[in-house]
Amino acid sequence: MANRHNSDWDIPEKIKVWCTDRDEEVEVDFIERRGDMIRASLQTIPLNFKRLKPGVFVANFSGMEFVMKL
């Protein structure tokens, strides 16, 4: 399945996110969406992205920040 429809937009199975601390783009695997939170996996490490504003989600792991724009 290429996209998982959830509410008002499609969320791809693979999502490119920006690591602000390393200034690089990484790819995460979509797991699920619950309300204002998107759960994804970065090389088997689960990340919980919380909605910062419409279409922008942020997660923190091990002192690093990850930004997802949908």
d(CA 66, CA 1): 25
pLDDT band at 2 (very low <50, low <70, confident <90, very high): very low
Closest residue by Cα to residue 12 from 27, 22, 2, 26: 2
Q: What is the mean pLDDT of the chain?
A: 89
pTM (2 d.p.):
0.85
Mean pLDDT for 9-28 is 93
Percent of the chain past pLDDT 90, that is, above it, reads: 83
Alpha carbon distance, N-terminus to C-terminus of the chain: 18
Q: Which residue ranges make up each domain of the chain?
A: 3-69
**Beta pairing class for 45-53 and 9-12:** unpaired
d(CA 56, CA 20): 14
